[in-house]
Structure 1
């Protein structure tokens, strides 16, 4: 098929933006991912491979390659293949994106991704208020606030921590472009960017997962202080105050409406830390410990024991979760066994499944965001490193479709941009 170079570049930027926006919605995202692969195959003549590009393709695809290398280590080969299929996009996305022979408009992709995601999730929240008026009214009246964000996330078939990881990234992107607009474009544009930033903060607060809120706050400070050497003190303080004050003001208003947030961040999070590995001794662990740090610590303690029992080659991707559940049962931790908790730490999860090589691969994969971000001075890539690292310390997003595609897509885009920047300097 013959199209002009300009049309092809425009369509590719559009493809990447639409893919990024679709990720929270698994079925549309899966369909779009397949169509994206077909699109690249149709225009296969546009692909160009160099040693450096192939090297980074290999690094990004490393978790999927582990599935292939350790396929023999699964009790069921069929189940091992099924687990590997989840991570196939770690191969496809860098293969197609890094091999493109033209430069992407990364700034445009990021901006429209953030704007579209904010708008779509706002509509989803309005839809939630319409289809679940009793729940929405209950939350506004301060009843059962612990389930508020989770109920909204389930209404669009998402897991709240995963959804809020996306939203935290969107909040920081929106603030980045708002900051960039100050004093440079028309006031009406600045106001609109501020509005989208504030709406995304409201979404973040409504879903209300602790780590995402902390990460977004850190990201706002990071963006405010970026290029500090180029800024005058007055300009620096102006940006920092606007970002931090806006975020803090919305957070304060949210806490006034939903006071449970303070309890969630303090008492619930750090309650019963003396009960690590002994959750069944609590009278009602579902009510008092389900969302607390003590549950995570209990899971990690047991998971570490499993990893140390199979430190070199692990137990296989298909058998990792069951190995941890078996350990819950063997150590008489009935609460954890009942709910069949996953590991909730990607480093431990891959260590259990693939042995010490799995631990190394996770570190390299996540660390690649830091290397690309710092080496090419892409501040949003640096923030993504912080976001994805902290998220995977308390959860395991490389076993979830949204976490796999989310990270693979942005890592591929940021890496392609870094390679192009390096080429410009050559």
Structure 2
């Protein structure tokens, strides 16, 4: 199910089958107060939909928004209540290997079926669209896909690190190969935030349990992984030099035009992917949130309220493309008021608490990627972001509860 999340139809089918299976064996599930407490915390975004159901102007739209987040009830309910322990390490390893393999095949398919696009990018033409074109070829949103790939790349590095000095050299080599392949996919999709997050994740994993790495040989091999990421990034920039421009000039261009994008000659070309567009959206969104700070405008009316603000302030470029809020904290504040803001903070912060308290470094890293992703986008309104976070938060929490149970024996 974790592997299928970027592909909506298979993920939905597997989620339905997973739910049906657990309903059939419902008597085998075990509930405790602590488990129920964490179930409620993970389900909090969906509970907001129920609590503020009355505040939406359109019943059908309110139901659709709640339906999207229903998985935040189902996943913790059926994962945290399992009687048996999960082998979280094995789940993570197989998830990373399978996801890396599938995406490599997708990239090979892209080269075969879209050679004109691939050759164009190799020649340095229209490199700004490269990651988006690949993502569209498999019907996936590029920023969402790169969030998955950043997670996978760091998991691959984690298992490469764990293998050093412990298992056969051939296994170490294969784990390093999968790490390299996942980094190549990450760089090709080329979302700025995900690349930065992957680098942070590699540092986090490198520093975790560093005292256990006593052998100089192991430390040297570990340095190979960190340097490997840096060298791959350098080589990629040499082949696709637009990446430097994207990370610098494009990102920070026209910051004096916040809220005034229509003054640019061609905002689609010069500002669409820039920080100035995000800042303009956030400025209008904050104004809407401050007009309805206590109870919000309702889940069904949040996006339209922001679009209306674009039109009222003559921001025709933003109104034309009907941009969503691109910040989950602001999005939930607009929809559910101050309680929505609190729920997002608790939901995302739960990754940090679970990871830190149970010493699960990959859970801490998930907090980093999900927090940063939701500061510049709104993944709790997307199926892939909702299920992706709900599934892994449930798995990491189940593992933390099992660890706590072991200590109390």
TM-score by length of 2: 0.98
Aligned to 2:308: 326
**When the two structures are aligned, how many residues end up with a matched partner?**
408
Instruction: Give the drift of 1:228.
Output: 2.5
The superposition leaves residues 21-77 of structure 1 with CA deviations (integer Å, 9 ceiling, x where unpaired) of: 000000110011001101111221220000000000000000000001101000011
- Distance in 2 between the 1:60 and 1:310 partners? 26
**Counterparts of 1:73 and 1:233 in 2: how far apart (Å)?**
61
Q: Distance in 2 between matches of 1:45 and 1:141?
A: 61
Q: Counterpart of 1:22 in 2: which secondary structure?
A: coil
Find 2:369's aligned residue among 387, 391, 398. Answer: 387
Which among 322, 325, 330 is matched to residue 348 of structure 1? 330
2:227 alignment partner in structure 1 = 245
Within 2, Cα distance between the matches of 1:137 and 1:125?
Answer: 13
Aligned equivalent of 2:251, options 251, 269, 278:
269
| 1:108 and 2:62 correspond | no
**In 2, distance between residues paired with 1:305 and 1:193?**
49
Query: Deviation digits for residues 328-373 of structure 1, max 9, x if unmatched?
Result: 0000000100100000000000000000000000000000000000
Q: Which of 171, 174, 189 in structure 1 is aligned with 2:153?
A: 171
**Residue in 1 that maps onto 2:114:** 132
- Kindly indicate whether the alpha-carbon contact (under 8 Å) linking 1:225 and 1:236 is maintained by their aligned counterparts in 2: no
CA contact (8 A) 1:224 1:243 kept: no
CA distance in 2 between counterparts of 1:234 and 1:55 reads 45
In structure 2, which of residues 157, 164, 168 is the aligned counterpart of residue 182 of structure 1?
A: 164
Match of 1:143 among 122, 125, 128: 125
Q: Which residue matches 2:71?
A: 89
SS in 2 for 1:21: coil
Please, which of 198, 205, 210 is the counterpart of residue 187 of structure 2? 205
The aligned counterpart of 1:302 is 284
Structure 1 pair 404–173 and aligned structure 2 pair: CA distance change class (3 A): same
Alpha carbons of 1:188 and 1:233: their partners in 2 closer, same or farther (altered >3 Å)?
A: closer
Cα distance in 1 for partners of 2:25, 2:294 equals: 42
Separation in 2, partners of 1:217, 1:239 = 17
Q: Is the 8 A contact 2:348 2:367 kept in 1?
A: yes
Could you tell me which runs of 5 or more consecutive residues in structure 1 were left unpaired when the two chains were aligned: 1-18
CA distance in 2, matches of 1:395, 1:236: 39
Does the 8 A contact of 1:89 with 1:408 survive in 2? yes
Instruction: Give yes or no for contact 1:306–1:323 (8 Å, CA) kept in 2.
Output: yes
Q: Distance in 2 between matches of 1:238 and 1:65?
A: 49
Task: Indicate the SS of the match to 1:24.
Answer: coil
Gaps of 5+ in 2: none
Pairwise CA distance, 1:244: 1.9
Determine if contact 1:276/1:294 at 8 Å carries over to the other structure: yes
**1:151-195 deviations in whole A, cap 9, x for unaligned?**
111111111000000000000000000000011100110100000
TM-score normalized by structure 1? 0.94
Q: CA deviation at 1:325?
A: 0.2
1:423 counterpart (401, 405, 409): 405
| Structure 1 position 226 matched with structure 2 position 223 | no
SS in 1 for 2:82: coil
SS in 2 for 1:99: coil
Q: What is the CA-CA distance between 1:232 and the residue it aligns to?
A: 3.5
